[in-house]
A and B are shown apart, each in its own frame.
Chain A
Amino acid sequence: MRQNEPEPEPGAVGRPGLEGRLKSFIEFDRVYKKIGEQEILRGVSLKVHEGDTLVVIGYSGAGKSVMLRHVLGLMKPDSGRVVVDGVDVAALPEKALAPTRRKIGMLFQNGALFDSMSVARNVAFPLQERGMLRSKEIDEKVEQSLELVGLAEHMKKMPVELSGGMRKRVALARAIISEPRCILYDEPTAGLDPVAADSIDHLIRRLKRKLGVTSLVVTHDMKSARFIADQIAMLRDGQIYFYGTPQALLASDDPVLKNFVDGKSGETS
């Protein structure tokens, strides 16, 4: 079943003539990806409009994280296009991806903080890599970013001294410090206690409001999805099964969607 699947907008992405909310920042155009013998993505087409938060839901192993990795060019599709701000990243070699990657911040599932660096150095890393040399300026920005995620007092700690939720928040501070136009979130609330998860959700909303960034969030946490999403897409069997607003998802009678939303496996004991 496919509900409200986004209508194709031929050539829309990156075309200067398209204004406002209709302008897509990210577009998946008939993307196919096979890993080993398994077909992970089977013709995924999806758009994320500029300034919107699109949440991709789906069962574990559905290929949600694989989709995210395509946006940054960390993975290449077997066929199809992945267009980010008008650039087909799938067609670019690794070395040519840097300008596009600098527009995007990514929160990895486990934070992917650098073990050998303190919290402050982890957060400062993107700025140092962009050649910001004045350490005072970097220090100020690090403090601001860590304050935004509520961890300013932990900047001297090493990642190993932090809890899972704190690591994610530090990773988020690192993702936003260079003021990206888009943030990718890979399971931002997975493995967190409900309070920490709620704190991350509010943070995502706050970032959208304050920075106006485009967000692509991958999760199977329905509470989180309902709270942060402008649009929700469900990935199933390598294809977009549903696309629409959180309200449309909740109102749907489709058994697959209902079971997913309600967290029901359909089994009896």
Chain B
Amino acid sequence: MSSFGRTFIALLELLGQVAALFGEALMDIARGRIRIRQTCRQILSIGAGSQSVVVVTGAFTGAVFTAQVYGIFKDLQVENASGGLVSLAMCRELGPVLVALMITGRVGAAIAAEIGTMKVTEQIDALRAMAVEPVEYLVVPRLVAMMISIPLLIAESIAFGILAAYLVGVVHYGIPEAAFMTHVNNYTDPADIYFGMIKGFFFGLIIVMVACQRGLTTENGAVGVGRSTTSAVVIASLMILISNFFLTMLLTPLFGFD
């Protein structure tokens, strides 16, 4: 078999394992096996702990995109519409995708490393030996926390992106405030924000499930933890980028954007 074939089969195998783990976690959630204290702790870690990352990502993406768009729109003599394009792009694509990629680096890596370390130091076996199910104890709280946190983080990032666009467009380039705001209002709907948040929800599932699966299957000590962490970030990032296309194709007609 060619190396491409082997990679493809390995990828399918991995997706199957991630799906099986997700199914197990969903069953626990459906049975109400959600540890509230653990989940709150994870919300604090994922949500509150990601504030600076999300604010900086949103603000600087909005700022730099405004600067780029302004130059082109000025040539076309429609520079006042810069804010509209930036806000739309932040809501539908830049906000969810960039925040998800940043969260993959910050949270996904941490989850894979923490669970991976627990695996190689027999802490997962200790949980099992004490009749505690690792999926219920480790995966479910992280999954629920991510499902709650990431849509809000994305909304926050969008807000900071638009704010930064305002500062660059209105304060720096001198676009009239009324014109800027009118275009933002005309081109952006609450539906656009929901669109981004729904995408983010799915990206969050990908981040947690890939990171947990990588962590739980870690072997070979510290080297293995390093490999698991790297592969969690790479695989989740690629899956986010690929699924973003399919989610866009699926959600666009549903939201009536086409």
Residues of A within 8 A of B (CB): 69, 72, 74, 94-95, 97-99, 101-102, 104, 106, 108-110, 112-115, 125-126, 129
Of B71-79, B129-137, B185-193, B208-216, the segment with at least 4 beta carbons within 8 Å of chain A is B129-137
A98 near B122 with CB under 8 A, answer no
B125 near A126 with CB under 8 A, answer no
Query: Closest approach, in angstroms, between the C-beta of B61 and any C-beta of chain A?
Result: 33
**Who on chain A is nearest to B128 by CB?**
A74
Proximity bits, B118-154, A CB within 8 Å = 1, else 0 = 1001110110111111000000000000000000000
Q: How far is the CA of A74 from the CA of B128 in the complex (A)?
A: 7
Query: Closest approach, in angstroms, between the C-beta of B12 and any C-beta of chain A?
Result: 23
A106 near B126 with CB under 8 A, answer yes
In the complex, chain A residues whose CB is within 8 Å of the CB of B125: 69, 74, 108, 112
B131 near A112 with CB under 8 A, answer no
A129 near B133 with CB under 8 A, answer no
Query: Closest approach, in angstroms, between the C-beta of B128 and any C-beta of chain A?
Result: 6
In the complex, chain B residues whose CB is within 8 Å of the CB of A102: 131
A110 near B131 with CB under 8 A, answer no
Q: Is B117 an interface residue (CB 8 A)?
A: yes
B126 near A72 with CB under 8 A, answer no
Q: How far is the CA of A97 from the CA of B133 in the complex (A)?
A: 10
**Who on chain B is nearest to A106 by CB?**
B129
Residue from B118, B126, B131 in contact with A108 in the complex, judged by beta carbons closer than 8 Å: B126
In the complex, chain B residues whose CB is within 8 Å of the CB of A108: 122, 125-126, 129
Query: Closest approach, in angstroms, between the C-beta of A114 and any C-beta of chain B?
Result: 6
A72 near B122 with CB under 8 A, answer no
In the complex, chain A residues whose CB is within 8 Å of the CB of B118: 114-115
Query: Closest approach, in angstroms, between the C-beta of A177 and any C-beta of chain B?
Result: 10
Query: Closest approach, in angstroms, between the C-beta of A74 and any C-beta of chain B?
Result: 5
Q: How far is the CA of A239 from the CA of B128 in the complex (A)?
A: 27
A101 near B128 with CB under 8 A, answer yes
A112 near B128 with CB under 8 A, answer no
**Who on chain B is nearest to A102 by CB?**
B131
B130 near A129 with CB under 8 A, answer yes
Query: Closest approach, in angstroms, between the C-beta of A268 and any C-beta of chain B?
Result: 35
Query: Closest approach, in angstroms, between the C-beta of B27 and any C-beta of chain A?
Result: 10
Residue from A95, A99, A112, A125 in contact with B122 in the complex, judged by beta carbons closer than 8 Å: A112
Known contacts A104-B129, A112-B122; 12 further A-B pairs (Cβ under 8 A)? A74-B125, A74-B129, A95-B133, A98-B131, A101-B130, A108-B122, A108-B125, A109-B122, A112-B125, A114-B126, A115-B117, A126-B130
Q: How far is the CA of A94 from the CA of B129 in the complex (A)?
A: 11
In the complex, chain B residues whose CB is within 8 Å of the CB of A129: 130-132
In the complex, chain A residues whose CB is within 8 Å of the CB of B131: 97-99, 101-102, 129
**Who on chain A is nearest to B122 by CB?**
A112
In the complex, chain B residues whose CB is within 8 Å of the CB of A69: 125
In the complex, chain B residues whose CB is within 8 Å of the CB of A110: 121-122
Query: Closest approach, in angstroms, between the C-beta of B132 and any C-beta of chain A?
Result: 5
B129 near A115 with CB under 8 A, answer no
A112 near B126 with CB under 8 A, answer yes
A72 near B128 with CB under 8 A, answer yes
A125 near B123 with CB under 8 A, answer no
- Residue of A95, A97, A112 with most chain B CB atoms under a 10 A cut-off: A112
Query: Closest approach, in angstroms, between the C-beta of A128 and any C-beta of chain B?
Result: 10
**Who on chain B is nearest to A75 by CB?**
B125
Q: How far is the CA of A108 from the CA of B119 in the complex (A)?
A: 13
In the complex, chain A residues whose CB is within 8 Å of the CB of B123: 112-115
Query: Closest approach, in angstroms, between the C-beta of A61 and any C-beta of chain B?
Result: 16
Supply 11 A–B pairs (Cβ within 8 Å), ascending by A. A74-B129, A101-B131, A109-B122, A110-B121, A112-B121, A112-B125, A113-B123, A113-B126, A114-B126, A126-B130, A129-B130
